[in-house]
Structure 1
C-alpha cells in the first residue's frame, strides 16, 4: 500500500459472523497508515466491513520465507485472540 512499510502490513479477507470483512494488520503503525489503508481498500471493496487491529512489532505471523500467515491470523481474529483495540477504517 502506498506509504506503508511493505513488511509491516497484511490484509486478510473473509466472512466474519456472516459479514464480508477486510482486516488490515499494521505493525507499529503510524496514524496516517490507517487513513491510507482505508482509502486504498474502499477503492476496491464495497459493502465490506473494514477494520485494523492494533498489532505490535512482530505481531504479524509470517512463514519462514517472510510471507504473511493469513489463515493463522484470520483464525486468531475469529477466535478473538488478538489483543488491543481495533480502528474502524
Structure 2
C-alpha cells in the first residue's frame, strides 16, 4: 500500500500504513508526516481500492513525527499502540 501511495504522489518515507483491528473493526490507518493537502485523497483512494471494508483513519503527524527505526523503516507496532492509546497526533476517521 505504501508503494502505491508513493506511485500516486505521496513522498516516499513520509507515510506508513497500519493495519489491524481497533475496537473490533478492521482498520487501516495512514500515518502521514508533513502531509500535503492532496495526500488525504490519495490515501482514501488507495485504501478503499485495496481494503473496501476497512475503516480508514487519516493521521497527520508533524515533521519527524513518523516513528522509524535507525534504518528508516516505519515502526508500525509502536505507532499502532499509540493509535489505540490515543497518543498518535491528529487522527480523523473517514
The answer, yes or no, to whether TM exceeds 0.5 is yes
**1:32-81 CA distances to partner (integer Å, 9 max, x unpaired)?**
00001110111110211001112111111000110000000000110111
Task: Confirm or deny that 1:36 pairs with 2:42.
Answer: yes
Where does the alignment leave 5 or more consecutive residues of structure 1 unmatched?
A: none
Task: Confirm or deny that 1:51 pairs with 2:62.
Answer: no
Where does the alignment leave 5 or more consecutive residues of structure 2 unmatched?
A: none
Q: Distance in 2 between matches of 1:28 and 1:83?
A: 12
Map 1:71-82 to 2 at 5 A: 71-82=77-88
Q: Distance in 2 between matches of 1:38 and 1:87?
A: 12
**Aligned positions, number:** 88
TM-score under structure 2 length normalisation: 0.88
Q: Distance in 1 between matches of 2:42 and 2:93?
A: 13
